[in-house]
Chain A
Amino acid sequence: MAMNYNAKDEVDGGPPCAPGGTAKTRRPDNTAFKQQRLPAWQPILTAGTVLPIFFIIGLIFIPIGIGIFVTSNNIREIEGNVFMYYGLSNFYQNHRRYVKSRDDSQLNGDSSALLNPSKECEPYRRNEDKPIAPCGAIANSMFNDTLELFLIGNDSYPMPIALKKRGIAWWTDKNVKFRNPPGGDNLEERFKGTTKPVNWLKPVYMLDSDPDNNGFINEDFIVWMRTAALPTFRKLYRLIERKSDLHPTLPAGRYYLNITYNYPVHYFDGRKRMILSTISWMGGKNPFLGIAYIAVGSISFLLGVVLLVINHKYRNSSNTADITI
């Protein structure tokens, strides 16, 4: 305290010695900000003031809900592009140590990571003194059943439905995030020095015959590597493209699903499913969102009405109260 005073004294040249020294007052500035008088919107939440908000919410939400609901219901099944999913239940792909057990650098084609995968992959990091590519528990447990769909038409011979393998992964995943290691033309050469995951039947460079869909950029693999959030999940498996406007993609009839069973689920009480669905601007057939919107909108509208009543009553009662006081 004392020292501050001295300093000030000295800076001013010592007030007693300097006549007419600048009389700088300590008066605070009288500005709106400093005096806390900034113009402010002061919401007072009473029935009267917020009534419009409820009605507006109601008026906006109900149409949106109806819109969504209708769109969702209008999705005519098995028309347009049909998406084929496989579903697993009771499979905890979201387990923390499971989720961690991968090496993104290796998957991005980093050659050093290829041969020396991250420690996170343990214990699926090395096998028989060779680095595993792709390493980790996620890759190791990749879904490897094969699903084939046949239409049993009028002919006795079942007609196979063309299932498209490409286009099921995010574009950015396939083109940026996942890359095959650099090197020679031959994929096998690029993966030289590595070994396949323990549970896999084939090495990673033999996942598909199409060179653009093989190795790390195999779309089935990419889809699997995007771990599911909940223990019951489905993953996109194939696309069934619409052939022409005239015919439905999957015409009515009997179908035959051929499953090459590689993937055991029974010992963790799991279930496998196959799902077919079409898609609209708002995703697949999903009545929930629309119903939710309608419900919220209606509740809001109802509340508005209740508040209207309250407001009416309260006004009256408060007025009388004022008079009695």
Chain B
Amino acid sequence: MTEALQWSRYHWRQLIGGATRDDDSRPYNYSSLLACGGKSSQTPKLAGKHRIVVPHLQAFKDEYEKFSGAYVNNRIRTTKYTLLNFVPRNLFEQFHRAANLYFLFLVVLNWVPLVEAFQKEITMLPLVVVLTIIAVKDGLEDYRKYKIDKQINNLITKVYSRKEKKYIDRCWKDVTVGDFIRLSCNEVIPADMVLLFSTDPDGICHIETSGLDGESNLKQRQVVRGYAEQDSEVDPEKFSSRIECESPNNDLSRFRGFLEHSNKERVGLSKENLLLRGCTIRNTEAVVGIVVYAGHETKAMLNNSGPRYKRSKLERRANTDVLWCVLLLVIMCLIGAVGHGIWLSRYEKMHFFNIPEPDGHIISPLLAGFYMFWTMIILLQVLIPISLYVSIEIVKLGQIYFIQSDVDFYNEKMDSTVQCRALNIAEDLGQIQYLFSDKTGTLTENKMVFRRCSVAGFDYCHEENAKRLESYQEAVSEDEDFTDTLSGSISNMAKPRAPSCGTVHNGPLGNKPSNHLAGSSFNLGSGEGASEVPHSRQAAFSSPIETDVVPDTRLLDKFSQITPQLFMPLDETIQNLQLETLYIIDFFIALAICNTVVVSAPNQPRQKIRHPSLGGMPIKSLEEIKNLFQRLSVRRSSSPSLTSGKEPSSGVPNAFVSRLPLFSRMKLASPVEEEVSQMCESPQCSSSSACCTETEKQHSDGGLLNGKVESLPGQPLACNLCYEAESPDEAALVYAARAYQCTLQSRTPEQVMVDFAALGPLTFQLLHILPFDSVRKRMSVVVRHPLSNQVVVYTKGADSVIMELLSVASPDGASLEKQQMIIREKTQKHLDDYAKQGLRTLCIAKKVMSDAEYAEWLRNHFLAETSIDNREELLLESAMRLENRLTLLGATGIEDRLQEGVPESIEALHKAGIKMWMLTGDKQETAVNIAYACKLLEPNDKLFILSTQSKDACGMLMSTILKELQKKTQASPEQVSLNVDLPQPPVPQDSGLRAGLVITGKTLEFALQESLQKQFLELTSWCRAVVCCRATPLQKSEVVKLVRSHLQVMTLAIGDGANDVSMIQVADIGIGVSGQEGMQAVMASDFAVSQFKHLRKLLLVHGHWCYTRLSNMILYFFYKNVAYVNLLFWYQFFCGFSGTSMTDYWVLIFFNLLFTSAPPVIYGVLEKDVSAETLMELPELYKSGQKSEIYQGSDIDIFAFGNPLNTAALFIILLHLVIESKSLTWIHMLVIIGSILFYFLFAIIFGAMCVTCNPPSNPYWIMQEHMLDPVFYLVCILTTCIALLPRFVYRVLQGSLFPSPILRAKHFDRLTPEERTEALKKWRGAGKINRVTSKNANKSAGKSGRRPMPDSSAVFAMKSATSCAIEQGNLSLCETALDQGCSETKAFEMAGPSKG
């Protein structure tokens, strides 16, 4: 949908911009492609899907012009308008709105002389004002974009110049396709380019894509095959190849094409070779690339769709109300037309009244009535609130502004606050009935913590590790902020074996050194972090809680048996024992290498660590030396604390303990210390753990130079490594492996270095990586094992998938096979256990391949890799061929902890009457466990599990459950027969029974089928909470769609990952959690928050406010217009339905536009019926929004007659607002008083200036005359009071006799804190009784809210009263007997209907 929009916009831009590039008609020489053995199946017709990039060089000048010259350059323009086309285009867009068209119609109508009611210009005024306001708003927005564009376009980059034959500085906007660009470290990539050279000897380049997708981890990109081997920098002059690739598209994860050398040799290109615009080069000194997509054709730009526009429910309802207004208008006009016709037929011959046409003939009453109909439409146009739309937009902007500036949404750790991406659905937040939530990363932290593992059928429960985690939890609950900031230093203490790892996590510390540490003398943060850790962000997935794993002692024992001899030819006798050890080794090697983790050193940020044996890199740059120097000097400064400890290994944490009061509070010291001492008893451990501390000692004792010399050429410190993973699970596993001395040291495209304590450093030749994808649900690496020299496939993936791929018939003999079976069974049991604990499970398996097998597979795989079309399928097949007949090694259990505040928030949302569904891809046990943990399900809930294998069974089960539920609740018959169309299904909370439903992905598939949908919905409507596990992204969105369309409820979907995108887009409101999984969810969302708990305030407070504000404002607008139009309409009865207005036209138009528009807008932005605190504490108040309750004979001269009417109406309308307001600040007062003053000022000035202008309603001196007359004031006061009295009394009676829950809650705001807590307790205690009464009250409130009409009848009364008063009062009279009687009866007559 958005994609299509994006494309159409893109093409539109192309059209407008005059860029006449046309994919299909582009000259394209396809013969070369066919000649060189490309796929002959490709027809020239496909040519349009490809693009040829020719280097922008002198040698290729002609060819360049032919192909690439026509591609768009790198200049971007995100603005909608240019100076020239602003006016026409903006008007064009604005007239897409029906209301604007209506007013345009009115303007045109007024140009028809026969029906003309006002001066032509006056009717145009409201339209012009509205159009201008919107145009100014659009223009400002566009101007801001223009400035940003300009800034970006003028960024400088190094581009190869064909004239000067060297790289010269050029602006981004001048970069064209085919240009060679040379970028240094930390530079931003200006356009999509194919990587041709990297200073990295392995031909790798790291990029950070946070600007694109928010993922802060580094991604590897590779130089095109064939170029990586070149030692020297690629020379553009010698570059003679050309590139053919797909046409621009917005798929970030795909790039297909090939590079064709001059000798027709082809090299395949993939996304690994593509550097994307907007990313930043990291870890690599310099790269050279050739631009393939520029400007708007880059993937980043194609993905850049601006804010989303949705129409809110309230707005939709307001639109229907506008239609009702139109109907009312038509009725009024018809009455006017008929009335005029009848009136005229009485006086047809009277030229006084039926003034002839200019040509002298008299129109018939019928025709006159017809004309009158149109005249009336013009006259009564104010009934349709044109300013409503503008006001709504302004109010929404204000509401968004306040939501965004709410400090409660601020997340210090991520320096982010709530983002409102959709600007016009804020009030929908107040009407949510169903909430669909993702689990991982939304409810949980998405901080994967290694909890336990099972290897070769033995479970290692890692009790110590669990203890460690608990202690974290306590610390978190004790002082959350503090821990966040101090995470760096905590890691120092928590990891005695690796004290220098502190630098890893000093990112945040370095940025805010003084904030929290100021008080302590512990000065690590400021000294170390400030200059040394330049990147502000902490590497993803590397908080201490994730990185520090305490090994299990039993497992460590088994490690002691590891010797290199294991890989020698084996004795049969000890095989069994050794087999387990071998499993353990393989298991941990798999953990360490079966991933795509990038290793970097923290103190040389994002610089790749190289093993000396691989590259033998000397110190590269001055910068590095400086970094090192600083690092060492800091160590020195902190050395006293180190030496003061009793033993280096355990003394280090102690030293920290003594310095940081926090530490002791965390109760972390003792377990860790014990652990350390335990560990140190085992020989392997102590030897390696000494590694760090020894260097540490050298640093501190020996001089600076000394330390440097010794540490640098030697093996880099294991603990100095920083792992950057794409998914948190991966990182958790690598950290877990590290805890067992199986440390991932480095990773290059060819090799993986693992430092295995007992075996020494192992270098695996990396043959292949089959990356993770959600279809396969697994990933594999193919390596050559350094010890056994075999080709080994390590696979890790979801248990369900791996279990199916295990080898059934093992060739190694019966005993082994049997053992495998046992391991498999045991592991499955452990997996179930883990899942019950709410852990995420992964299975690890391996497979040994013969070289021949591998060669065979590789050949096929290579074919798949180089194909351009349907490559994905081929790759998938290829992966299937590799990942089979696996041997199960073990399983891991990773904990994903709940985010803080989640259970409380869910509880509150439940109380607010929001039904919550959890949709997750996790397995059932995990999901249910998390659901209990976050209070989505409660222990005494009745839980139903829907997990069937067939559709029929599913239907059966559902009907059984339904019956049971109905029996239990003994519900009344009408409750049982649920009408799916009704928005309100039976509310199980009321009946006392609380049920939860768990449904698995497979069953969900059945349930979503048409025949079972209804039953499924009925079932779910009985349940408090629904958990869907093993749900695919598509199912998630289907569920949302189903609920939304069939129950006609407001839905909200919240999620954080790419798999939630479709669900987020389908729901009425999509909320993205900007977590660790990138920005895709946020990009697709309407609102982005950083934590789930923020949802509570967002819905309960801001949602409620936005909804009440806007709905009240809209109602008020209708009231205001109906009231005023009724004045005009009523007058028609006294002027022969001739369409006369008793007011000056300007005042008439301005009345709506100026005098009475600002106060409602302020009301809409600032109204606060209940304070935020009360709303947070009483989620029940939210329910009002869900049900859409709120939205509901005289001598006097004609224009002097209108003036007091206007004035009184102004007072009435404004004071009415005061009655309806629940809170009034000085801003309200200012605006209301300002409006009144403005009215008087305008009337006076207009009355003084205008001698002959504006015929016929010349307002000259009328206001002045009136302001000198006391009767004017008396009348205004009296009418205002009379008109407002009924409403006022009604409100008062409502307030004292049937207060709505909102009103009652409002009282709480007035109480003192103690009284308040008391009252709140009472309220909550009231429970059910309360609920019932509040329902009644709600009903009455609902009725009251939607009643502009009684007020307008009050205005009738006011009006007639005024007319009498004016008539009798303004110019005096001494009634003759006859006359007095007449006028008095008239007065009663007029008062009569209004009272009735």
B1177: which A residues are within 8 A, CB to CB? none
Which B residues from 1254 to 1269 make CB contacts under 8 A with A? 1255-1258, 1260-1261, 1264-1265, 1269
A259: min CB distance to chain B, Å: 15
Q: Are A95 and B353 in contact (CB under 8 A)?
A: yes
Q: Are A47 and B1322 in contact (CB under 8 A)?
A: no
Do A228 and B1270 form a contact, CB below 8 Å, given A16-B282, A46-B1296? Answer: no
Which B residues from 1193 to 1208 make CB contacts under 8 A with A? 1193-1198, 1200-1202
**Residue B1373 contacts which of A11, A141, A277 (CB distance < 8 angstroms)?**
A277
- Assess whether B518 is interfacial by the CB under 8 Å rule: no
User: Bound complex: CA of A38 vs CA of B1228, how far in Å?
Assistant: 11
Q: Are A227 and B1197 in contact (CB under 8 A)?
A: yes
A230: which B residues are within 8 A, CB to CB? 1134, 1193-1194, 1196, 1201, 1363, 1367
Q: Are A96 and B117 in contact (CB under 8 A)?
A: yes
**Residue A137 contacts which of B355, B531, B1274, B1292 (CB distance < 8 angstroms)?**
B355
Which B residues from 339 to 392 make CB contacts under 8 A with A? 347, 349-353, 355-360, 375
A293: min CB distance to chain B, Å: 6
- Assess whether A281 is interfacial by the CB under 8 Å rule: yes
Q: Are A275 and B1136 in contact (CB under 8 A)?
A: no
- Assess whether A221 is interfacial by the CB under 8 Å rule: no
A42: which B residues are within 8 A, CB to CB? 1168, 1222-1224, 1306, 1309-1310
User: Bound complex: CA of A246 vs CA of B135, how far in Å?
Assistant: 72
Q: Are A282 and B1274 in contact (CB under 8 A)?
A: yes
B1365: which A residues are within 8 A, CB to CB? 286, 288-289, 292
Give the number of chain A interface residues (Cβ < 8 Å). Answer: 123
The winner among B405, B512, B1197, B1253 for most chain A CB atoms within 10 A is B1197
User: Bound complex: CA of A7 vs CA of B1369, how far in Å?
Assistant: 69
Query: A18-53 interface mask toward B, CB cutoff 8 Å, 1 = contact, 0 = none?
Result: 111101011111100011101111111111101000
Listed stretches B83-91, B859-867, B1374-1382; interface member: B1374-1382
Which B residues from 1286 to 1304 make CB contacts under 8 A with A? 1288-1289, 1291-1297, 1299, 1303
Which B residues from 1069 to 1089 make CB contacts under 8 A with A? 1079, 1083
Q: Are A268 and B347 in contact (CB under 8 A)?
A: yes
Do A30 and B407 form a contact, CB below 8 Å, given A2-B211, A46-B1292, A108-B1252? Answer: yes
Q: Are A96 and B375 in contact (CB under 8 A)?
A: yes
B340: min CB distance to chain A, Å: 10
Q: Are B1198 and A227 in contact (CB under 8 A)?
A: yes
Do A45 and B530 form a contact, CB below 8 Å, given A16-B186, A35-B407, A292-B1361? Answer: no
Do A284 and B1251 form a contact, CB below 8 Å, given A170-B1265, A275-B1379? Answer: no
B1291: which A residues are within 8 A, CB to CB? 45
Listed stretches B41-49, B645-653, B1323-1331; interface member: B1323-1331
- Assess whether B1285 is interfacial by the CB under 8 Å rule: yes
Listed stretches B99-107, B147-155, B453-461, B822-830; interface member: B147-155
User: Bound complex: CA of A242 vs CA of B1139, how far in Å?
Assistant: 43
Listed stretches B22-30, B315-323, B410-418, B844-852; interface member: B410-418
A29: min CB distance to chain B, Å: 7
Q: Are B1172 and A19 in contact (CB under 8 A)?
A: no
The residue of chain A having its C-beta at the shortest distance from the C-beta of B1253 within the complex is: A104
A120: which B residues are within 8 A, CB to CB? 1255-1256
User: Bound complex: CA of A85 vs CA of B350, how far in Å?
Assistant: 25
Q: Are B211 and A104 in contact (CB under 8 A)?
A: no
User: Bound complex: CA of A282 vs CA of B280, how far in Å?
Assistant: 81
Q: Are A47 and B353 in contact (CB under 8 A)?
A: no
Number of A-B contacts (CB under 8 A): 396
- Assess whether A316 is interfacial by the CB under 8 Å rule: no
A34: min CB distance to chain B, Å: 4
Q: Are B1225 and A325 in contact (CB under 8 A)?
A: no
B1296: which A residues are within 8 A, CB to CB? 46-48, 307, 310-311, 314
- Assess whether B855 is interfacial by the CB under 8 Å rule: no
The winner among A100, A230, A233 for most chain B CB atoms within 10 A is A230
Listed stretches A75-83, A157-165, A186-194, A210-218; interface member: A75-83
B1389: min CB distance to chain A, Å: 12
- Assess whether A272 is interfacial by the CB under 8 Å rule: no
The residue of chain B having its C-beta at the shortest distance from the C-beta of A92 within the complex is: B1136
Q: Are A78 and B531 in contact (CB under 8 A)?
A: no
Do A7 and B1374 form a contact, CB below 8 Å, given A267-B349, A268-B347, A289-B1274? Answer: no
Query: A42-80 interface mask toward B, CB cutoff 8 Å, 1 = contact, 0 = none?
Result: 111111101000000100010010001000000101100
- Assess whether A236 is interfacial by the CB under 8 Å rule: yes
A236: min CB distance to chain B, Å: 7
Q: Are B1140 and A108 in contact (CB under 8 A)?
A: no
User: Bound complex: CA of A17 vs CA of B531, how far in Å?
Assistant: 11
Q: Are B1372 and A288 in contact (CB under 8 A)?
A: no
A90: min CB distance to chain B, Å: 9
User: Bound complex: CA of A11 vs CA of B148, how far in Å?
Assistant: 11
Q: Are B1195 and A233 in contact (CB under 8 A)?
A: yes
- Assess whether A299 is interfacial by the CB under 8 Å rule: yes
The winner among B1193, B1219, B1265 for most chain A CB atoms within 10 A is B1193
User: Bound complex: CA of A39 vs CA of B111, how far in Å?
Assistant: 50
A277: min CB distance to chain B, Å: 3
User: Bound complex: CA of A289 vs CA of B210, how far in Å?
Assistant: 74
- Assess whether A6 is interfacial by the CB under 8 Å rule: yes
Query: B139-158 interface mask toward A, CB cutoff 8 Å, 1 = contact, 0 = none?
Result: 00000000011011001000
Do A75 and B1374 form a contact, CB below 8 Å, given A36-B402, A42-B1309, A61-B1281? Answer: yes
User: Bound complex: CA of A7 vs CA of B149, how far in Å?
Assistant: 9
Do A5 and B1223 form a contact, CB below 8 Å, given A30-B407, A77-B1374, A285-B1374? Answer: no
The residue of chain B having its C-beta at the shortest distance from the C-beta of A300 within the complex is: B1285
B149: which A residues are within 8 A, CB to CB? 3
B658: which A residues are within 8 A, CB to CB? none
The winner among B277, B1255, B1291, B1309 for most chain A CB atoms within 10 A is B1255
B529: min CB distance to chain A, Å: 10
- Assess whether A94 is interfacial by the CB under 8 Å rule: yes
Do A28 and B405 form a contact, CB below 8 Å, given A1-B304, A9-B188, A100-B1255? Answer: yes
User: Bound complex: CA of A283 vs CA of B415, how far in Å?
Assistant: 70
- Assess whether B993 is interfacial by the CB under 8 Å rule: no
Do A40 and B1223 form a contact, CB below 8 Å, given A94-B1140, A122-B358? Answer: yes
Q: Are A89 and B1225 in contact (CB under 8 A)?
A: no
The residue of chain A having its C-beta at the shortest distance from the C-beta of B1387 within the complex is: A288
The residue of chain A having its C-beta at the shortest distance from the C-beta of B149 within the complex is: A3
User: Bound complex: CA of A118 vs CA of B511, how far in Å?
Assistant: 77
B1166: which A residues are within 8 A, CB to CB? 36, 38
25 contacts between A and B (CB under 8 A): A2-B212, A3-B278, A6-B188, A50-B1288, A64-B1274, A87-B1379, A94-B1134, A94-B1140, A95-B353, A98-B352, A99-B1140, A123-B356, A177-B1261, A228-B1195, A228-B1198, A229-B1202, A230-B1367, A279-B1372, A283-B1368, A284-B1369, A285-B1373, A288-B1364, A289-B1369, A292-B1282, A300-B1281
Q: A48-B1296, A310-B1293 are in contact. List 14 more A-B contacts (CB 8 A).
A: A2-B303, A5-B278, A6-B188, A28-B405, A34-B406, A42-B1168, A92-B1135, A101-B1256, A118-B1255, A172-B1260, A230-B1201, A232-B1194, A283-B1269, A285-B1373
Which 6 pairs from chain A and chain B are nearest by CB?
A284-B1372, A232-B1193, A277-B1374, A229-B1201, A279-B1372, A47-B1296
Binding site for A on B (CB under 8 A): 76, 78, 117, 148-149, 151-152, 155, 185-188, 208, 210-212, 277-278, 280, 282, 300-301, 303-304, 347, 349-353, 355-360, 375, 402, 404-407, 409-410, 412, 415-417, 511-512, 530-532, 534-536, 605-606, 1079, 1083, 1105, 1134-1136, 1138-1140, 1142, 1166, 1168, 1172, 1193-1198, 1200-1202, 1218-1219, 1221-1227, 1251-1253, 1255-1258, 1260-1261, 1264-1265, 1269-1271, 1274-1275, 1278, 1281-1282, 1285, 1288-1289, 1291-1297, 1299, 1303, 1306-1307, 1309-1310, 1322, 1325-1326, 1329-1330, 1361, 1363-1365, 1367-1376, 1379, 1384, 1387
